[in-house]
Chain A
Amino acid sequence: MAQIKINDVSLGYENGAILTHLSFEVNAGDYLAIVGENGSGKSTLMKTLLGLLKPLAGEITFGDSLCKNEIGYLPQQTLVQRDFPASVTEVVLSGCLSNGSFHPFFNKEDKAKAAANMMRMGILDLKDRSYRELSGGQQQRVLLARALCATEKILLLDEPVSGLDPKVTMEMYELIKQLNEEGVTIIMISHDIAAAVRYADHILHLGTKVFFGEIEDYKKSDFGKFFLAKEEEA
């Protein structure tokens, strides 16, 4: 059974739908890239998947023992965070809040989990540093570790490499790929079609025409060929 199944969903805000009749599904262990131009509805789709927006029509079902709130999320940087005084440990630990019953403070398990995820992201040595002093790539790793504290099942990444230099971008993609190989389902929103084709196994291309399918089929389709050729020119 699929982890997330989108069935004939329309998305948008009160004053109009941005996407209509969208259907796709995500299975455990998939690496889905969502690409498309600005304004094609990527962010709206993401907000809907996260439960921040309600779909205008249609149905989103969560299955395969995935609850609605078990989506880990790597957001784009907000203005608030740029000068936020917080240590790396504080940020990563805050990912542990989502699970289970209410206890006011973090227990040993939470702290162990946070430490394990910082280790996994290679940022354990930064744990007492201030978040706002880190480089863009390091900040992304911190937020990834936080997302992993919230869930091990599925991660939704919103433009994970925006603002990173080419070398760090590569490292970031490798890191995400590695997580995927460890069994974490990945949904990545991206501008970068070339990288999406290289790393993901499924692709959802939003635009005037919508394509959803495996990467191999995308490469063979006229639709995919067109965009990939355009990408190469650029």
Chain B
Amino acid sequence: MILALVNLAEYFQYAFVRNALIVGVLIALCSSLLGVTLVLKRFSFIGDGLSHVAFGAMSVAAVVGLTNQMLLVLPVTIVCAVLLLRTGQNARLKGDASVAIISVTALAVGYLLMNVFSTSSNVSADVCGTLFGSSSILNLRAAEVWVSIVLSVVTVAVFVIFYNRIFAVTFDENFSKATGMRTDLYNLLIAVIIAVVIVLAMNLVGSLLISALIIFPALSAMRIFKSFLSVTICSAILSVSTAFLGILASILLETPVGPTIVASEALVFAVFCVIGACLGRRKA
């Protein structure tokens, strides 16, 4: 135990560890804030679909040889987010199907491109890394760290400023629209934020596990807390702490970062389910 702590102190001296922690915590914060809205609006699946789109866009960027992949990945993901949220509202079923179509297509095309135009010698490792985020969080460049910090701060700021409106649109979109709120605008805003968060989160947990990062904290918090504000705050705290501890654990135990974080979030969810059930029974 003590040995582990000494080890940890040593690790903190490395810039890559500090970078990973900063970026990881910020991404976790953003995704958890958004998760509450997505889960309540029944849009959990959209995160999954978009992450596959981001994967596809990233492979295209890699094949084309862009030095800053963000330039391509971010706009493509935003466009898809807007399209998916729009269809999702009008017809639930069609929305489901379109998410499935877009996500599997992006996944297939992404892998295809990476395979056919491979630039590195080990394609499987590359793909595995993008899908499960194996180590990219530990190899961040300074520029990537700054981009992540800026985008996260903007996301959190937008969320705070529009918090009340996001609540209103999430709780009852028709009422908001009927009383003169520009719900389309807020839905667009939510879509853009989702896209940004997903592109950021690809570094942390890889594209297959992003939806876990988005929905687990919100679902856990909803087991116990009963107002929107307390659920939001609780899910932010849960998400930040599991990301922080998950990154540390993965460094100490030499496990892959993304799966470690997601596994610990699943564990937290199980614990909260039990607590929630106990509280519910005591009340009844």
Closest Cβ of chain A: how far from B223's Cβ, in Å? 10
Given contacts A98-B180, A151-B179, contact A78 B172 (CB under 8 A): yes
Q: Would you call B176 and A97 a contact (CB within 8 A)?
A: yes
- By the criterion CB–CB under 8 Å, are B228 and A72 in contact? no
> Which of these binds chain B: A28-36, A88-96, A206-214, A222-230?
A88-96
User: Once the chains bind, are A52 and B178 in contact (CB under 8 Å)?
Assistant: yes
Q: How distant is the Cα of A69 from the Cα of B170 in the complex, in angstroms?
A: 19
A202→B168 CA distance, assembly (Å) = 32
State whether the Cβ of A186 lies closer than 8 Å to any Cβ in chain B. no
Size bracket of the B interface: 20 to 34
* Chain A hits for B167, CB < 8 A: 86, 90, 94
A150 pairs with B179, CB closer than 8 A: yes
CA distance A117 to B229 in the complex (A): 21
With A69-B178, A71-B178 known as contacts, the answer to whether A105 contacts B164 (CB < 8 A) is yes
* B12 in contact (CB, < 8 A): no
CA of A214 to CA of B163 in the docked complex: distance in angstroms? 45
Contact residues of B between 19 and 63, Cβ < 8 Å to A: 40-42
Complex alpha-carbon distance, A219 and B180, angstroms: 37
| A62 located at the interface, meaning its Cβ lies under 8 Å from any Cβ of chain B in the complex | no
**A107–B173 Cα gap in the complex (Å)?**
23
B146 on interface, CB distance cutoff 8 Å: no
How far apart are B272's CB and chain A's nearest CB, in angstroms?
Answer: 13
Query: Hey, which chain B residues are within 8 Å of A51, CB to CB?
Result: 177-178
**A98: nearest residue on chain B (CB-CB)?**
B179
Q: Does A133 contact B (CB under 8 A)?
A: yes
Judged by a CB distance under 8 angstroms, whether A50 is at the interface is yes
Alpha-carbon distance A128/B162, docked complex (angstroms): 22
Which B residues touch A93, using CB under 8 A?
A: 164
Contact B171 A86 (CB under 8 A): yes
A201 to chain B minimum Cβ distance, whole angstroms, is 24
Check A97–B222 contact: CB distance below 8 A: no
CB of A130 closer than 8 Å to a CB of B: yes
Known pairs A90-B167, A90-B228; A52 contacts B174 (CB<8 A): yes
Given contacts A80-B42, A85-B227, A85-B231, contact A97 B165 (CB under 8 A): yes
Q: Are B178 and A94 in contact (CB under 8 A)?
A: no
Alpha-carbon separation in the docked complex, A50 to B172 (Å): 14
Partner of A91, one of B41, B42, B162, B171: B171
- Interface presence of A104 (CB below 8 A): yes
Quick one: closest A residue to B41, CB to CB?
Answer: A80
Complex Cα–Cα for A68 and B179 (A): 8
Interface residue total, chain A, C-beta cutoff 8 A:
39
In the complex, B161 has a CB within 8 A of chain A? yes
User: Which residue of chain B has its CB nearest to the CB of A78?
Assistant: B172
Question: Given A50-B174, A86-B167, A90-B167, are A95 and B179 neighbors across the interface (CB < 8 Å)?
Answer: yes
Task: Tell me the complex Cα distance, A146–B172, Å.
Answer: 11
**Interface presence of A75 (CB below 8 A):** yes
Residues of A within 8 A of B174 (CB): 50, 52, 73, 75
**In chain A between 78 and 128, which residues have their CB closer than 8 angstroms to a CB of chain B?**
78-81, 83-87, 90-91, 93-95, 97-98, 104-106, 128
User: Min CB distance, B71 to chain A, in Å?
Assistant: 31
Report how far A54 CA is from B229 CA in the complex, Å.
35
For residue B171, which residues in chain A have a CB less than 8 angstroms away from its CB? 80-81, 84, 86, 91, 94
Q: Is the CB of A94 within 8 A of B227?
A: no
Residues from chain B with Cβ under 8 Å of A151 in the complex: 179
Tell me the nearest residue of chain A to B178, going by C-beta: A50
Nearest-CB residue, chain A, relative to B226 = A130
Residues of A within 8 A of B165 (CB): 97
| One of A68, A84, A90 near B229 (C-beta < 8 A) | A90
B227 lies within 8 A of A86 (CB): yes
The smallest C-beta distance from B167 to any residue of chain A, in angstroms, reads 6
Whether a CB of chain A sits under 8 angstroms from the CB of B225 is yes
State how many angstroms separate the Cβ of A98 from the closest Cβ of chain B.
4
* Inter-chain contact B162/A84, CB cutoff 8 Å: no
Q: Which B residues lie within 8 Å of A85 (CB)? A: 40, 222, 225-228, 230-231
Q: Is B181's beta carbon under 8 Å from chain A? A: yes
Closest 6 CB pairs of A and B: A69-B180, A130-B226, A98-B179, A87-B227, A50-B178, A94-B168
- 12 new A-B contacts, CB < 8 A, other than A79-B42, A86-B167, A105-B164, are A50-B178, A80-B41, A80-B42, A84-B40, A85-B222, A85-B225, A90-B228, A91-B171, A94-B164, A94-B172, A98-B176, A132-B226
Some 11 contacts from A to B, beta carbons below 8 A apart, are A75-B175, A78-B172, A79-B42, A80-B171, A85-B225, A85-B226, A85-B227, A87-B228, A90-B229, A104-B163, A150-B175
